[in-house]
Structure 1
Amino acid sequence: MREKELAKVISQKCIGTGVYSMWIETKAAQTAVAGQFVSVYCKDKTKLLPRPISICQIDKEKGRLRIVYRVVGEGTEEMSSYSAGDDISLIGPLGNGFMQREGKKAILIGGGIGIPPMVGLAEALKDKAEVSVVAGYRDELFLTKELENAGKLYIATEDGSTGTKGTVIDAIKEQAVGGNVIYACGPTPMLKAIKEYALANNIECQLSLEERMACGIGACLACVCQSKDKDAHSNVNNKRICKDGPVFLAEEVEL
């Protein structure tokens, strides 16, 4: 069982409109793997539930993690006010990370705020596999330098301002991006399209699901998704995204 921890903010900066990057000194860095998340508690005690934030980068040697998040409500608005030296209360690492397939040609796909986890995964796979990264944005780009350092980067934008105009699937087809295994994180419509593409092309596919969470440790059943098999915990066809995921094999879940 993970324990709540009082960690320390090392640095924070705004890297896009409403998008913030924070490095945190935390015990969670010792065991974290790409694809996991931390749950951050607000200092405002009227906000009881923690905010789940994906891990972007892991520095085990220095005992620190990087999170990149978008301000979407009062909790993340509070987080955006933190600065170096501030305490930050969190629990983690939580969930199951990506199953890293060594020696396989990897396609990493991130959409919107699902892009940050791809940075840490690309770094973890860099010396184990050939890595291609496909990143989908509405318009404004972020984390492109980090992604380019870890693999070949392809970009899709909704407005066509950079790279392929359209979706990540459009970019994969236009650029003929090939691989043996797909790792993806992003909004559900994007993940559904990726699952269909992977199944049609007989490619192994791992999906990291985005969902609003409450407890973050699998107790409350607030973040379930429909699954192919019955869950041993609830005996119904669902999976707890925070506990059983957030990463699943594509064929395990119904989107």
Structure 2
Amino acid sequence: MSKLVVQAPVLKNETISNLVKRLTIYSPELAGKAVPGQFIHVKIADSYHPLLRRPLSISDVDVAKGTVSTIYRIVGHGTALLAQLKSDEVLDCMGPLGRGFNLECKKPLLVGGGMGLAPLVFLAQRLCPRPVEILMGGRSEQEMFWSSIYSTICDRVHIATDDGSVGQRGFTVDLLPELLESGNYDMVYSCGPRPMLEKIAAIAKNFAIPCQVSLEEHMACGVGACLSCTCAGKEGKRKKVCTDGPVFWAGEVF
């Protein structure tokens, strides 16, 4: 899929939780091309610091309005600068980049942890009106602001927290076998920390359910030239997460 470089006006850059913000830009060109699982590569500043673009997963698209949104966490200098953007400022964006999710399913289960839940929002929207359920995990109720986002999209929201402050106490991988046993799902989609993805892939394989994972890796160029985001493939060949992924069939990388 061809990529674009656009100068996109910022419409909103709103706080939705502690250190987590939702950035919405106006770009009919990006909105018309984006598919769930892809990302945009944004230039944070006109200076050399930070030098590299930042990859941001696409979490919402409104083709009719020409808008693209991303949910991000402030974790360093680059995202701290991004958080200072105001309405009507212009953001240099490259995208949409990467390989997205395969949407061929009838009853999907989405599984996400932490900021891995961001790209699954767009996926859940595109999977509707099919019955969509999500299993989400976090450390505490404070991190589960995601439930209000997904409750308007998904038929059912299952929650696991480390401390049991909301939902069931435990991790997503603790709840997953019971759900797969009774849910009659035909696809598992997941994004989050790599150790979590490895366990989810193994559980889905035990139930003979196809599984796709979206990998989180540090990226530099975003277009497959620098090889900074490669990971080991199942057949021994290195995979470029920015171009071969970020979405893979679980069997390709685990």
* Runs of 5+ consecutive residues of structure 1 not aligned to the other structure: 231-236
| Matches for 1:177-196 after TM superposition, within 5 Å | 177-196=183-202
CA RMSD of aligned residues (A): 1.4
Are residues 1:165 and 2:169 paired? yes
2:128 counterpart (122, 126, 129): 126
- Give the structure 2 partner of residue 233 of structure 1: none
Q: What is the match of residue 24 of structure 1?
A: 25
Match of 1:3 in 2: 4
* Of 36-45 and 53-62, the range deviating more from structure 2: 36-45
Partner letter of residue 209 of structure 2? I
- Across the two proteins, how many residue pairs are aligned to each other? 246
Structure 1 residue matching 2:158: 3-state secondary structure: strand
Amino acid at match of 1:16: S
Measure how far apart 1:177 and its partner are: 4.5
Matched, 1:75 2:70: no
Partner of 1:13, secondary structure, is strand
Determine what percentage of the aligned residue pairs are the same residue.
40
Q: Counterpart in 1 of 2:15?
A: 14
| Offset from partner CA, 1:40-93 (integer Å, 9 cap, x none) | 111152222111011101111111111000111100000011121111111011
* Structure 2 match to 1:234: none
Q: Please give the per-residue CA displacement for 1:213-234, whole angstroms capped at 9, x wherever unaligned.
A: 010011111101110235xxxx
1:84 maps to 87
C-alpha distance in 2, partners of 1:181/1:41? 35
Runs of 5+ consecutive residues of structure 2 not aligned to the other structure: none
Of 49, 53, 58, the residue aligned with 1:55 is 58
Deviation at 1:5, TM superposition (A): 1.7
Flag the 1:73–1:167 CA change in 2: closer, same or farther, 3 A: same
SS in 2 for 1:191: helix
8 Å contact kept, 2:177–2:203: no
Output the CA distance in 2 between the equivalents of 1:147 and 1:40: 26
Q: Which amino acid aligns with 1:155?
A: I
Question: Does structure 1 retain, via aligned residues, the 8 Å contact 2:4–2:30?
Answer: no
Report the Cα offset of residue 178 of structure 1. 4.5
Tell me which of 107, 114, 117 is aligned to 1:115: 117
Give, in angstroms, the shift of residue 2 of structure 1. Answer: 2.3
Over 2 Å off, 4+ runs: 1-4, 171-178
Whether contact under 8 Å (1:210, 1:246) holds in the other structure is yes
Contact map agreement 1:12 1:22 (CA 8 A) in 2: yes
Separation (CA, whole Å) in 2 of partners of 1:155 and 1:36: 25
* Contact 1:181/1:205 (<8 A) preserved: yes
- Residue 15 of structure 1 aligns to a residue whose secondary structure is strand
In structure 1, the residue matched to 2:251 is 251
The one-letter amino acid paired with 2:247 is V
The answer to whether the aligner puts 1:34 opposite 2:36 as a matched pair is yes
TM-score (norm 2): 0.93
Amino acid at match of 2:32: Q
2:227 paired residue among 218, 221, 226: 221
Q: TM-score, length-normalised on structure 1?
A: 0.92
Q: Matches of 1:76 and 1:241 in 2, distance apart?
A: 21
Structure 2 residue aligned with 1:202 = 208
SS in 1 for 2:4: coil
Determine helix, strand or coil for the equivalent of 2:121: helix
State the Cα deviation string for residues 21-47 of structure 1 (Å, max 9, x = none). Answer: 111112211100111000111115222
Q: Distance in 1 between matches of 2:157 and 2:86?
A: 31
